[in-house]
Amino acid sequence: MEAGDQLTAALAALLEQARAAAQHSYSPYSGFRVGAALRLNDGTVVIGTNVENVSYGLTLCAERAALVQAVSRFGPTVRITAAAVANLNDAPSPPCGACRQVLAEFIEPDAPVVFPAADGTRVMAFRDMMPLAFDMKLDKRG
């Protein structure tokens, strides 16, 4: 696994896949074109893009679009080992809080997440991005 603070060749390639996904963005209202790429535990990369809606609350972020595709294709036991987010607007765009919480169900805590930040491209371990994710352990006894 990549270090949590450096852009490796593997993460740079994942970021390029996120940029390519952003080309397919449906963002007629904001013009903010975002793509995401998730590397799964078997090495497969799944991509997604943001899909806006005139009712902004119904907009689907690229990260969640990619995750929905991963679960749809590979089932609920899929695990994410790295994630990349890119946009075509040259603006900072770390995963939003909702995306972080949804990713928390499927991403390895030490998985690197690469995204554009105000100070350039940033790489962080997921656990540092979402240290207090909501977690509800279900009691399986009864």
Q: Catalytic residue positions?
A: 63
Q: What is the CA radius of gyration of the chain?
A: 15
- Cα–Cα–Cα angle for 51, 57, 63, nearest 5°? 45
Backbone region of residue 31 per phi and psi (left: phi > 0; alpha: psi in -120 to 50; beta: other values):
left
Asked if 50 contacts 25 with a C-beta cutoff of 8 angstroms, the reply is yes
Nearest C-alpha neighbor of 93 from the set 46, 35, 48: 35
> Going edge to edge, which strands form the sheet with 112-117?
45-49, 34-40, 80-87, 112-117, 120-125
